[in-house]
Amino acid sequence: MNGLETDELVEVYRPRPYRPAVAERQPKRVPVVHIVLFAATFATTTLAGAFNAGVNPFSDPSAIRAGFPFAVTLLSILLIHELGHYTLARVHNVNASLPYFLPGPPFLIGTFGAFIRLKSLPESRRALFDVGAAGPWAGLMVAIPAVLIGLHFSEVRPAGMSDGGLMLGDSMLFKFLSWVALGVSSDDVTIVLHPVALAGWIGLFVTLLNLLPIGQLDGGHITYAMFGRHHRWIARAALIVIGVMAYTSWPGWFVWVILPLMIGIDHPPTLEDYVPIRGWRRLGGWLTVAIFILLFTPAPFSESKPAAQFEGDKTPVLYRAPQETSPFLEGGLRGIPL
């Protein structure tokens, strides 16, 4: 038998015990790019916070600390938002990167936001919903307390008193938070926002933009998970509405018409596309739609001219923050002027 004895054949063909394959452990690498981008974004947002607080850290380096409240609050909101996505991606075995932070001009808010890369698509609409909705809800858990705390330290002036500049629009949620924190309506007074409140406002606005039901934005993921292939018609309707608002309310909406056209309006299908989401996920989807409506403001930014209080106006100043806190944004008259 080809030179092999019977005992040798038995030895050759004896079944071996099953040993599961173990993947080779890859050496952990320090995420240098992520750390560098985060550090750069922290620097630019701190500078932005200092400039908006009315100090120049280039002429007085010690004044840079005035930018910390704004920078720490804003980056916390963005970080928790992205970690919400990342955590649920890991739960559903979706290959996702760590968050990338994008530094921006320090003369604005100092950042273009943050994102994670999904290197593989969630296999089901259930997983897609979890990954897509986790970010906005996680970010709101930080943004809402930030607004409430920041409003507590903000200044309230009589309606009509404004130094002019850029006005921040009021969403229904921000009006409600103003009433909870200050006991007043932002339509009836002028609010000088503390840096923490400003960062919270920006966090709410970023959440609104992410919830637009277009392409692979968070809102696109959620809409596709809820409505499947009908997402394409919802996305096109949303794009038309945004285009109309760009003409009538705020020209900045044009960016959110052009950007989806460049990166794609439609959402790719999942592997288990035929299985809809049910139960608490569908309820969570409609709650997310409600949050989008509460966050929505047609004109998030507008210009305001300086205006003094009319003689005889008896509206009291309900709260004045200490000067050293350097509040730098104002609100009221259906907006929050900068």
- pLDDT at residue number 128: 95
- pLDDT at residue number 19: 47
- pLDDT at residue number 338: 36
What is the longest distance spanned by two Cα atoms in the chain? 116
- pLDDT at residue number 162: 60
Q: Which of 140, 105, 185, 155 is nearest to 284 (CA)?
A: 140
- pLDDT at residue number 140: 96
- pLDDT at residue number 156: 86
- pLDDT at residue number 273: 86
- pLDDT, averaged in runs of 10, over the chain (338 residues): 49 47 56 94 96 89 93 97 96 93 92 91 92 96 96 83 72 93 83 92 96 94 94 94 93 92 90 90 96 94 63 36 41 37
The tokens of 195 are what? Answer: 């840096």
- pLDDT at residue number 101: 96
What are the phi and psi torsion angles at 296 (to 5°)?
-70, 135
- pLDDT at residue number 145: 97
- pLDDT at residue number 27: 61
- pLDDT at residue number 108: 85
Residue 191: beta bridge partners? 156, 331
Whole-structure pTM value:
0.81
Helices marked H in the chain — which ranges?
6-13, 32-52, 68-91, 125-152, 172-182, 195-210, 218-227, 231-248, 255-263, 280-295
